[in-house]
Structure 1
């Protein structure tokens, strides 16, 4: 029996899967989003700072006054008089700075004087952290395939926790930056492994929702960080508060199961079966002996009610090898959830006449000797004009979306409405953004919803610019300003979610990991650039919003050149993908799949590899 069939029988979303899912997902998202977003608090600038002039000096005689605000002088942040009794010549601060803030007790900015000419260093450290995340994406994916999802998840989680604790005790900016870089590398191992480990315990029909809840948990983590930072105003204590709980997951070694799919892929089917039996007992379900053996399959009568919940399924034992599909059987067309292929056999036919029919109507004879899969590289992908164009568009689109997403998140505290409240709302609006993206892509596909959401993101970033903080008669418009800003954040979150679904669907099966990895690299690069928008926003937030708005609108246009993938059979080879990419409408693609099943470069008889729309990344 296939693993996906067995997962249905134990309950597609039973109590066991629910407990394991949240044990993996909560630390897998919260312990990642906290270090990634904590730069807002750890590298926060104080509201007031100026040169430290000593106790016996008067400020107005030592520091230039650059403005008056509510009758109080605003002193220059970076310069002091050389000798005010002689002339007004100035020099950089010589004895450090004086800081005053209602939002922070201590940040890396105030501790290491990262202001004035060195102000960019606070955001540079975050960019270097994101470089670590980007590098970790390549390492984690390879290692999780080689050594197992659970192994890499736990090693990364505990390593990230230890490194995060060490960051709290570092005494220099360089040490802080290096340790944060290493934390970023480990953090990506947690992100990648947690998503794969959590979703692979479900059959295909439930993996989309597992991924969706993973995204919701990410937004909840952002929301939770706001009250944590509000209560813990010192960056070192906040660092400990974020990372120490990771060490409390030591018991995961005995509790969390390894991915059953990975165990089967390395030939350890017996260990996968043990996990299945544990889950079945926990969910109060029954499984046959040697459930993953090829000689075990679903009993015909149980196919009558489908695979909705698996509550009425029981042990069984017939195989396709046996000539037992007679006229009384309810399983003449049993749809296996594991691969969405219809197994059919006509009465009295021999085993050689058995066929595999995809649900899109494409039929392929089962060959005794399977043709060896071709090996592809990135160069092969770029040689195909249409696939190369799709890859380039997706790389650019995901880069912009990531840049705007992280840029809006980091700058949310600069828009007004309360420092911690603004950040909390910044996390809260991610939840409706994810919900909207999920239902829009399921109902209307990928291209039009993604384009529409990006347009909304661009428009609301632009609208925010034209709303003043206060009207001429004194009316406070900051709440309206913040609302427009947060709608833009909600939209860009939805766009990010759409690309997460859409990107892997553009590539053929045999090169999907490579193609997705390339596009995800550019998404990570957007995260590397985003911290510098905070540095720019200190001087001109409107300029940053203009950049975000224009880039979002331009991206909305270029994604229209990407093919629609909803309800389309996913290609297996580059030749099939290139052929499918040439179709300009969904109807043309469907017509090609129905009428020309054997006319693609002569590679084999199957036009498109019938595969579930939801993929495990």
Structure 2
């Protein structure tokens, strides 16, 4: 027989809906987000700029020289240096013969560092200053390039081999790789390993989030999504504390990697996704998992629902009404082209603003560790509030308001930083407020996008939007790096204008709250004239939507 999404939903509901088993496995799978967040944003501490001075006379090629009056000077290129003045990248050396020379530091060992918090990171470790200053942000861009690639690689692997094996492999592999990263002997080794780490992290994210979403029926997925997002923000708070306690980047890297060891018992406690087992026809294993769920949730085994799935044949045939659709169908009609192009930019802008503000947080006035902690706290609050906000005000209005808040606060923070003095605390407060608004945008846009695409291309549309969001992680470090030097503009102003444009582009899009989900491309065109849905049939709110035609999972980026 054919196993439709209705029968799968009915089975999951009969197994307890949001019972003890679902909550337990949800918490275990969501714990992987702690590891994920650590690896995603650790460069906020590993790559923080360090105050430095060019001191070429202390180069390894120089040597101390005791003069006749017992004053220790230095020989530099066989000339005796009696005095020197230093800047970040240059030094003026005064020689014994009365001449002077302006020297530019270019090789290892020619800089001295005066870290504000006595920290050691890759900037001072690999001399990523002056002409090599861009390399710190480039390392972040390379990492998120790996994240983009990981989405292409592990999305298919998680569908082919299962959610649990993919999650465990990427979690344990990243644990080992993270420790190896701490022993990188040079910059090239560091960025190559981090690139691979990015690939693994996206695989972890896809598999863990999908496993969580497949635990629940549609009506419980808003709850599941909000709780999982809160793990993201709270992990940032935890990382701030760990970075404050361990000021050496190698020690910190080892510690965040060891968090994966705490999941060593997962193979014995976390089962494979029941939905995946059924969809792959592994009904014997699925029945074992279902009976375990019943035992923990203290509910009877749903014999009737299981019979609808199994059909007494031991085989399963999965209907797929979206077969034959691909990326080109997102642009097949005028309305779909409009929606897709607008959503691509909105996802890119939200992600760019989020990661740009996150990595820039440590450079604001005040204690960088406290700023980072506060940023994580307000982000957690934003995720928690996003669910009741969507229920009361819908999707489009909160997106517009949050975009406007992010635009105003970011632009104000940038202009105050560039054109005033003595208002550094206000700049920091505005930036944190902007980050809170962007976090709320991130939570809402997932739901909105999954509702605005018709059923036949919903998975395809979500995947394409997520790809553009990953591009934000690639782009944000480069905006932070180059806007000030090229245009003398604070990067946060760019983030503000990107958010403003994203908000303005929302106007042609429809509200989807309490509207029937559309199924076909034709329905989208028919209901586009008034930028709304004509069918007011009651709609069950979903997060990562489940409809009569297909199960849709989306992953947090």
Q: What is the TM-score when the length of structure 1 is the normalising length?
A: 0.77
* 1:186 equivalenced with 2:200 (yes/no): yes
Q: Distance in 2 between matches of 1:566 and 1:583?
A: 18
Q: Matched residue of 2:306: which SS?
A: coil
Map of 1:91 onto structure 2: 104
Map of 2:51 onto structure 1: 47
Map of 1:19 onto structure 2: 24
Query: Structure 1: any 5+ residue segments left out of the alignment?
Result: 65-74, 298-369, 595-608
Q: Distance in 1 between matches of 2:167 and 2:150?
A: 12
Q: Which moved more, 1:550-559 or 1:499-508?
A: 499-508
Q: CA deviation at 1:171?
A: 0.6
Q: Distance in 1 between matches of 2:461 and 2:550?
A: 17
Q: 1:383 aligns with which of 317, 320, 332?
A: 332
Q: Give the direction of change, closer, same or farther, for the CA distance of 1:295–1:570 in structure 2 (3 Å limit).
A: closer
* 1:10 equivalenced with 2:4 (yes/no): no
Q: Matched residue of 1:98: which SS?
A: strand
Q: Distance in 2 between matches of 1:116 and 1:272?
A: 59
Q: Matched residue of 1:294: which SS?
A: helix
* 1:33 equivalenced with 2:46 (yes/no): no
* 1:429 equivalenced with 2:374 (yes/no): no
Map of 2:367 onto structure 1: 418
Q: CA deviation at 1:387?
A: 0.3
Q: CA deviation at 1:395?
A: 0.5
Q: Matched residue of 2:53: which SS?
A: strand
Q: 1:557 aligns with which of 504, 510, 524?
A: 504
Q: Are 1:46 and 1:103, in contact at CA under 8 Å, matched by a contact in 2?
A: no
Q: Give the direction of change, closer, same or farther, for the CA distance of 1:469–1:420 in structure 2 (3 Å limit).
A: farther
Q: 1:395 aligns with which of 322, 328, 344?
A: 344
Q: Give the direction of change, closer, same or farther, for the CA distance of 1:512–1:457 in structure 2 (3 Å limit).
A: same
The CA RMSD measured in Å over matched residues stands at 2.9
Q: CA deviation at 1:445?
A: 2.0
Map of 1:333 onto structure 2: none
1:256-281 Cα deviation digits (max 9, x unpaired) = 01111111111123322221211221
Q: CA deviation at 1:156?
A: 1.0
* 1:258 equivalenced with 2:269 (yes/no): no
Q: Give the direction of change, closer, same or farther, for the CA distance of 1:480–1:239 in structure 2 (3 Å limit).
A: same
* 1:443 equivalenced with 2:377 (yes/no): no
Q: Give the direction of change, closer, same or farther, for the CA distance of 1:57–1:437 in structure 2 (3 Å limit).
A: farther
1:414-449 Cα deviation digits (max 9, x unpaired) = 111211101111111102222333222222222221
Q: CA deviation at 1:542?
A: 5.7
1:198-254 Cα deviation digits (max 9, x unpaired) = 121112111111011110000000000011011111111111101122133222112
Q: Are 1:464 and 1:484, in contact at CA under 8 Å, matched by a contact in 2?
A: yes
Q: 2:534 aligns with which of 589, 594, 597?
A: 589
Decide which structure has greater helix share.
Answer: 2
Q: Matched residue of 2:439: which SS?
A: helix
Q: Are 1:470 and 1:477, in contact at CA under 8 Å, matched by a contact in 2?
A: no
Q: Distance in 2 between matches of 1:440 and 1:9?
A: 29
Map of 2:129 onto structure 1: 115
What pairs with 1:194-273 in structure 2 (closer than 5 Å)? 194-273=208-287
* 1:484 equivalenced with 2:430 (yes/no): yes
Map of 1:126 onto structure 2: 140
Q: CA deviation at 1:151?
A: 1.1
Q: Distance in 1 between matches of 2:547 and 2:199?
A: 36
How many residue pairs match? The answer is 514
Q: Give the direction of change, closer, same or farther, for the CA distance of 1:174–1:13 in structure 2 (3 Å limit).
A: same
Q: Are 2:84 and 2:92, in contact at CA under 8 Å, matched by a contact in 1?
A: yes
Q: Matched residue of 1:287: which SS?
A: coil
Map of 1:509 onto structure 2: 455
1:555-591 Cα deviation digits (max 9, x unpaired) = 11011122222222222232233333x13243x5227
Q: Are 1:569 and 1:610, in contact at CA under 8 Å, matched by a contact in 2?
A: no
Q: CA deviation at 1:508?
A: 2.1
* 1:168 equivalenced with 2:182 (yes/no): yes
Q: Distance in 2 between matches of 1:119 and 1:496?
A: 30
Q: Matched residue of 2:345: which SS?
A: helix
Q: Are 1:62 and 1:80, in contact at CA under 8 Å, matched by a contact in 2?
A: no
Q: Which moved more, 1:154-163 or 1:282-291?
A: 282-291
Q: Distance in 2 between matches of 1:470 and 1:407?
A: 21
Q: Are 2:123 and 2:129, in contact at CA under 8 Å, matched by a contact in 1?
A: yes
Q: Give the direction of change, closer, same or farther, for the CA distance of 1:122–1:17 in structure 2 (3 Å limit).
A: same
Q: CA deviation at 1:611?
A: 5.0
Query: Structure 2: any 5+ residue segments left out of the alignment?
Result: 1-5, 59-63, 65-71, 312-318, 539-545
Q: CA deviation at 1:190?
A: 0.7
